Amino acid sequence: MTELPARDEADIAEAIASAAAKGTPLEISGGATRLSLGRPVQAGQRLSTRALSGISLYEPGALTLVVRAGTPMAEVDAALAAEGQMLPFEPMDHRALLVSTGQPTIGGAVAIAASGPRRLQKGACRDSMIGIRLIDGLGQVISNGGRVMKNVTGYDLVKLMAGSWGTLGVLTEISFKLLPAPQTTAVLLYDGLDDETAVQAMSDALGSSADVAGAAHFPVEIDGDPVTMIRLEGLEGSVAHRTKALVDHLGAYGQARIVTDPEVAAAGWRAVRDAEPFAARDGAVWRVSVKPTDGPGLVSALKASGIAKAAFFDWAGGLIWLLTDDAGDGGAAAVRAEVAPRGGHATLVRAHAPVRNSVDVFQPEPAPLARISAGLREKFDPKGILNPGRMTA
């Protein structure tokens, strides 16, 4: 696939306007680390935001960052770490899971709404966004939101673009609200809990006053021994106090092992965030969202039928990562049959192209919502040239 040259926002706008005039479909990319996500794009040319790199504005005192979409995540993280700050939503790095190379970009993280384990405490990617610049499917530059947390700008295109997968427009710049990085982290580990008990323990932790910043559970098939992880973050004295109180609160679930080494704690949560247990294992990978109390039953049913080879839980059980065979429909029919009565949704994250071409990668939308989605795509991309086929057949 040929890549169109683009040095700046004006070049990207011109390239899109030209493609729209000719009806030429485009595949939109940033660091090219997530191109195998979603359905295969039906396009002959690739348009990259890689040249749109760099921090436009960073005001640590105002906890505000404005950054160009093609900026590598590593560059963003380093700049924030130097000031003791962070993006609240802990975006996933897909490279190990997808066996891809390159550098993930901040625009790519926003385009797929890559929210990690801290989402249950700090909110999703969209909740951290306060402004955007984008180019629509006709090559028009649109700006929405601002560079401060309080602004009144009419329609909230900012949140609409989070998770739009490049089908509504090409992001060129994003503004974020930030948070101070935690001074101290403590992780409570509970060994040997079954899935239902683990979900109950995580729910009890979230219902306490401990202000939990992460809750995940690895069943026995992940590393041989079930382990339930509960994370606390903040000032050293506060974390110490909350850790003691939470250990007492969860006493019925056994004796907790407490990890305070920052490198060990960070490695454990990277494994959760990036779905590392499935990176070295063959198979299709699903990301399933249901009520936490429904998760164990769903996993049990899919294991009993032979569909799920392995699973683990994030977001206190509200997010389930499933490993299935990468053949046929990748388990789509069975997974969706279990998800539907529970009111959840399932997304196929990794599979070979034949599987991704043959099934709905994203949860099918109810007819009224599908009409709204189609209407939005028609307004933002009337020629249908931006990532055609990425989200729908």
**pLDDT tens column, 218-274:** 998 777 899 999 999 999 999 999 999 999 999 999 999 999 999 999 999 999 999
Q: Is 391 helix (H, G, I), strand (E, B) or coil?
A: coil
Gap between the Cα atoms of 281 and 331, Å rounded: 16
Gap between the Cα atoms of 34 and 267, Å rounded: 22
Compute the mean pLDDT over every residue in the chain, rounded to the nearest whole number.
95
Measured CA distances, 345 to 69, 158, 315, 335 (Å): 28, 23, 15, 9
Structure token pair of residue 56: 């436009």
Average pLDDT over residues 129-135: 96
Check the CA dihedral 63-67-69-72 and report its sign.
Answer: negative
Q: So what's the pLDDT on residue 156? A: 80
Least confident range of 12-26, 35-49, 177-191, 264-278: 35-49
In the predicted structure, residue 51 carries a pLDDT above the cut 60: yes
User: Residue 148 — very low, low, confident or very high, per pLDDT cuts 50/70/90?
Assistant: low
- What dihedral do alpha carbons 84, 90, 53, 61 form, nearest 10°? -30
Evaluate whether 190 touches 228 at the Cβ level (below 8 Å): yes
Element (H, E) at 127: helix 125-128
In the predicted structure, residue 150 carries a pLDDT above the cut 60: no
Gap between the Cα atoms of 48 and 387, Å rounded: 12
Q: So what's the pLDDT on residue 152? A: 46
In the predicted structure, residue 153 carries a pLDDT above the cut 90: no
Gap between the Cα atoms of 53 and 49, Å rounded: 8
In the predicted structure, residue 62 carries a pLDDT above the cut 50: yes
Gap between the Cα atoms of 356 and 270, Å rounded: 26
Reported as a single tens digit per residue, the pLDDT across 68-100 is 999 999 999 999 999 999 999 999 999 999 999
Beta carbons within 10 angstroms of residue 157's beta carbon = 19
User: Residue 151 — very low, low, confident or very high, per pLDDT cuts 50/70/90?
Assistant: very low
In the predicted structure, residue 379 carries a pLDDT above the cut 50: yes
pTM: 0.94
Comparing CA positions, the residue from 51, 14, 4, 13 lying closest to residue 30 is: 51
Burial class (CB in 10 A: 0-12, 13-18, 19+), 189: middle
Burial class (CB in 10 A: 0-12, 13-18, 19+), 85: middle
Average pLDDT over residues 21-44: 92
Q: Is 318 helix (H, G, I), strand (E, B) or coil?
A: coil
> Which strands, in side-by-side order, build the sheet including 227-234?
257-259, 184-191, 227-234, 212-218, 310-314, 319-324, 284-289, 345-350
Q: What percent of the chain has pLDDT over 90?
A: 92
Reported as a single tens digit per residue, the pLDDT across 264-316 is 999 999 999 999 999 999 999 999 999 999 999 999 999 999 999 999 999 99
Gap between the Cα atoms of 53 and 253, Å rounded: 48
Strand partners, 218: 227
User: Residue 43 — very low, low, confident or very high, per pLDDT cuts 50/70/90?
Assistant: confident
Gap between the Cα atoms of 108 and 170, Å rounded: 10
User: Residue 147 — very low, low, confident or very high, per pLDDT cuts 50/70/90?
Assistant: low
Q: So what's the pLDDT on residue 155? A: 58
In the predicted structure, residue 1 carries a pLDDT above the cut 90: no
Q: So what's the pLDDT on residue 392? A: 85
Residue type, 181: A
Reported as a single tens digit per residue, the pLDDT across 335-366 is 999 999 999 999 999 999 999 999 999 999 99
Please give the DSSP secondary-structure letter assigned to residue 41.
Answer: P
Strand partners, 68: 173
Structure token pair of residue 92: 């996933």
Gap between the Cα atoms of 85 and 104, Å rounded: 19
